[in-house]
Amino acid sequence: MRFAEQWNWCTVDSIRDVTPTIREFLLRPDSGHVAPYPAGSHIGVAILIDEQPARRSYSLVGDHNPSLYRIAVRLAQDSRGGSRGMWNLQPGTRIETSSPACLLDIDWNKQNYCLIAGGIGITPITAIASALHRRNIDLRLHYAVKSRGDAAYLGELSSVLGDRLIVHASDQGARIDLDATFRALPSDTIAIMCGPMRMLEAARRAWNDAGRAPADLRYETFGSSGLLPTAEFRVRLKDCDTELVVSPNSSMLDVLNDAGFEVISDCQRGECGVCAVDVIAVDGEIDHRDVFFSDQQKKDNRKICPCVSRAIGVVTIDTLYRPETLPGR
């Protein structure tokens, strides 16, 4: 999904840590005004990673505030540095942000909602829970965390939801039983979830096993988190001797383009599929991190989105370059 984005300057108004690894930022737009946006929206933030311009997306936390954007950023250790760049911001820093956009298409007219958040996935869910509560709609929020100390916004959420907030802290042996949860829901329930890829896949399976309509499970992942660790892997080009190495902090797309094997791309977040290339062989395993291909297409392994997807081992691909057009020939 693509949006007509408008970028504007903001000033970092204040910063506070909401858990040891999640930092909240209030951003004040120069215009002095934040137009209303749907609950579950996010903004884009322009950052520098190793002096290079990049962008990252952050969900808007809680209720709409007419003069401030409120976002919360988890410090990601296994990363290219965007979240660290955010963590290095100071009050008063100027930063460019895009206007809010929403990837979650929520039907607000149901009677029952089941919200599920994993870790930092709580950020858009805070806004959705609050919007449903304001409409007097029945909801339960399941919040899966490593420990209660890692759970952001517990106080705020419990004051709104009371015992309809159920925290599953894995250090206390509590795990959300998705099968039982989904089977117990009234038939017209919409489930909305935001969390890591592994949790999302478990939720999709449990949702289907419970005989629910796929369209009644709405979800958002935060883009590039995969099922396998982010490690170095190699890419071979069909009909060519070249083998390229993709290091943990670069993408397959960048490595191909840097080596002269031009691959066109657009969103670079695994959403649009413009950069998809053909997979010829896999010696190892592909970690599809896009939200463009279906589960079946990912199982078939015939195509890969090199902007976000990675692998363990060696992947042979066809970028549609032919020998006479290969660099250096």
Ligand X SMILES: Cc1cc2nc3c(=O)[nH]c(=O)nc-3n(C[C@H](O)[C@H](O)[C@H](O)COP(=O)(O)OP(=O)(O)OC[C@H]3O[C@@H](n4cnc5c(N)ncnc54)[C@H](O)[C@@H]3O)c2cc1C
Binding site for ligand X (CB under 6 A): 42, 56-59, 71-74, 76, 78-83, 103, 120, 123, 220, 222-226, 230, 249-251, 269, 308, 310
Contact 104, 192 (CB under 8 A): yes
- The nearer residue to ligand X, 233 or 261, going by C-beta atoms, is 233
Give residue number: closest CB to ligand X. Answer: 82
For the bound state, the minimum distance from the C-beta of residue 239 to ligand X, rounded and expressed in Å, comes to 26
For the bound state, the minimum distance from the C-beta of residue 103 to ligand X, rounded and expressed in Å, comes to 6
Separation between Cα atoms, residue 234 and residue 312, nearest integer Å: 8
For the bound state, the minimum distance from the C-beta of residue 306 to ligand X, rounded and expressed in Å, comes to 9
Contact 156, 126 (CB under 8 A): yes
- The nearer residue to ligand X, 185 or 193, going by C-beta atoms, is 193
- The nearer residue to ligand X, 242 or 249, going by C-beta atoms, is 249
- The nearer residue to ligand X, 29 or 196, going by C-beta atoms, is 196
- The nearer residue to ligand X, 181 or 220, going by C-beta atoms, is 220
Cα 178–108–8 angle (5° rounding)?
Answer: 100
Separation between Cα atoms, residue 102 and residue 220, nearest integer Å: 10
For the bound state, the minimum distance from the C-beta of residue 192 to ligand X, rounded and expressed in Å, comes to 14
For the bound state, the minimum distance from the C-beta of residue 258 to ligand X, rounded and expressed in Å, comes to 13
Strands 233-237 and 243-246, by their bridges, are antiparallel
C-alpha distances in angstroms, 45 versus 20, 69, 238, 272?
22, 11, 37, 19
Contact 157, 129 (CB under 8 A): yes
- The nearer residue to ligand X, 56 or 288, going by C-beta atoms, is 56
Strand order in the sheet with 310-318: 243-246, 233-237, 310-318, 277-287, 303-304
DSSP state letter for 51: T
- The nearer residue to ligand X, 120 or 139, going by C-beta atoms, is 120
For the bound state, the minimum distance from the C-beta of residue 274 to ligand X, rounded and expressed in Å, comes to 16
Residues with Cβ < 8 Å from 105, sequence gap 6 or more? 218
Residue (of 1, 11, 38) closest to 128 by Cα position: 38
For the bound state, the minimum distance from the C-beta of residue 262 to ligand X, rounded and expressed in Å, comes to 19
Separation between Cα atoms, residue 274 and residue 261, nearest integer Å: 15
